[in-house]
Structure 1
Amino acid sequence: MRFFYHSFRYYRRIGKKGRKEREVHMEEEAFWIKQVLAGNKQAYGHIINKYKNPLYATILRMTKNPQDAQDLVQEAFIKIYNQLGKYDQKGAFSSWLYRVAVNHCMDEFRKKSSQIKQAEINEASAVNTKHPEVILLKKEKNRQVEKLISTLPEDERIIILLRYANELPYEEIAETTGMPLSMVRNKLHRAKKKMRETVKKQGGYYNELSNGG
């Protein structure tokens, strides 16, 4: 019995220490954020130094390309700096920062995906000029899928894009977003169900994201 009592006291001390450290980190972050918003650009260096390595690791998992990851991290920090005034300080700053960065990556992936699709369509149209209706249908289908994805809540939209645009496995999506694996699966299922129901209401046939899990 004494063993369990001492173990409980030990873990309670550890828990208190962890909470205290988190509070100190939050106070430091709040100070540097306030400094940046007051016009002290050098203060932003403290935020960059704290998050650049974990953010790079996150984006590298998404891109699988070190150079692309470096470029996206730099772009993300510029976007975070420009949007810092929108952070309401109600939630964790780290969650807000990662959300801005991941959203930026998703925007870039969408642009790149659209460019690739357009190149494929152009190539197909050059070969298949006898059937222009096929090209038009393909363009329209791409637009419909992008429109469907844009109607989803932010967290579901990110998961859909990570899964299908980046072809990340569930485990890596969980690591990238910081969500439990079960939550990733549930949100992905929910997002696909919403998209399927939307298409059915519009009298269409849903099969774009049915395959691949």
Structure 2
Amino acid sequence: MAAVLAGDQRAFTQLMRRHKDSLYRFVRGYVGDASEAYDLVQESFVAAWHALARYDRQRSFGIWLKRIAINKCRDWRRRRAVRAFFYDAEDIDRPGLDIAQPIAAAKEREDELARLDDAIAALPANLKEPLLLSLMGEMSHRDIAEALGMTAKAVEVRIYRAKRALAGALATR
């Protein structure tokens, strides 16, 4: 990290290689779309590069990077909600629109994964973030607590609640 802070782009490239897979898994789980996740991972690395001057040497680079990715995912979710509002408003006014028409799944496995993605996406951020950091970010409760600014016990409780909420959501669908 000292080389990166000194401006060594090759050292930053090495850090990117080391963290890209776990960061992608986390972001993919958060947004539920592979191409959006790829873009958000790139945005996270670019933001990290530009924010190196604000990096706290006392923190782990991986945790700091996950925090940046969380913020990118939150921004993406807000932008998506705004776009959906305007897009849906236009669709509702279209003559002959049948809103209740179901969308057929191509394969049963894809349908199950889509249900899981939807259930995860429906979780409130305070439950979704610790769950995804734990499962896909491969982080300890202590590291998650540091990244999210809470206690390790709070992380444990939120992960438990997220799993219960997912089980309930998947059981009712």
TM-score in terms of structure 2 length: 0.56
Tell me the residue number matched to 1:34: 2
Amino acid at match of 1:49: R
Distance 1:176 1:94 in 2: 13
Aligned length, in residue pairs:
123
- Aligned pair partner of 2:135 in 156, 175, 179: 175
Distance 1:36 1:170 in 2: 28
**Structure-to-structure mapping, 1:13-28, within 5 angstroms:** none
Over residues 169-209 of structure 1, what are the superposed CA-to-partner deviations in whole Å (9 max), with x where a residue is unaligned?
984464357444414468xxxxxxxxxxxxxxxxxxxxxxx
- Aligned pair partner of 1:120 in 74, 88, 91: 88
Tell me the residue number matched to 2:123: 163
Check the 8 A contact 1:163/1:169 in 2, yes or no.
no
Over residues 58-93 of structure 1, what are the superposed CA-to-partner deviations in whole Å (9 max), with x where a residue is unaligned?
112112222222221111111111112111112222
Distance 1:185 1:81 in 2: 34
**Structure-to-structure mapping, 1:93-104, within 5 angstroms:** 93-104=61-72
Specify the SS of the correspondent of 2:51.
helix
Specify the SS of the correspondent of 2:70.
helix
Over residues 12-70 of structure 1, what are the superposed CA-to-partner deviations in whole Å (9 max), with x where a residue is unaligned?
xxxxxxxxxxxxxxxxxxxxx33223222222111101101111111121122222222
Tell me the residue number matched to 2:53: 85
Check the 8 A contact 1:55/1:73 in 2, yes or no.
yes
2:31 matched to 1:71? no
Which deviates the most, 74-83 or 35-44? 35-44
Specify the SS of the correspondent of 1:102.
helix
Tell me the residue number matched to 1:51: 19
Over residues 95-117 of structure 1, what are the superposed CA-to-partner deviations in whole Å (9 max), with x where a residue is unaligned?
11110111112111211111111
Check the 8 A contact 2:29/2:136 in 1, yes or no.
yes
Which deviates the most, 87-96 or 75-84? 87-96
Check the 8 A contact 1:162/1:173 in 2, yes or no.
no
Q: How far apart are 1:122 and its partner, in Å?
A: 4.1
Alpha-carbon spacing, 1:164–1:118, altered in 2? closer, same or farther (3 Å): farther
Amino acid at match of 1:163: L
Q: Note the residue ranges of structure 2 that are not aligned, 5 or more in a row.
A: 95-120, 142-154, 162-168
- Measured on the aligned residues, the alpha-carbon RMSD in Å equals 3.5
Tell me the residue number matched to 2:103: none
Which deviates the most, 76-85 or 87-96? 87-96
TM-score in terms of structure 1 length: 0.47
Determine what percentage of the aligned residue pairs are the same residue. 23
Q: Which has the higher contact order (CA 8 A, sep 6+)?
A: 2
Q: Note the residue ranges of structure 1 that are not aligned, 5 or more in a row.
A: 1-32, 128-160, 187-211
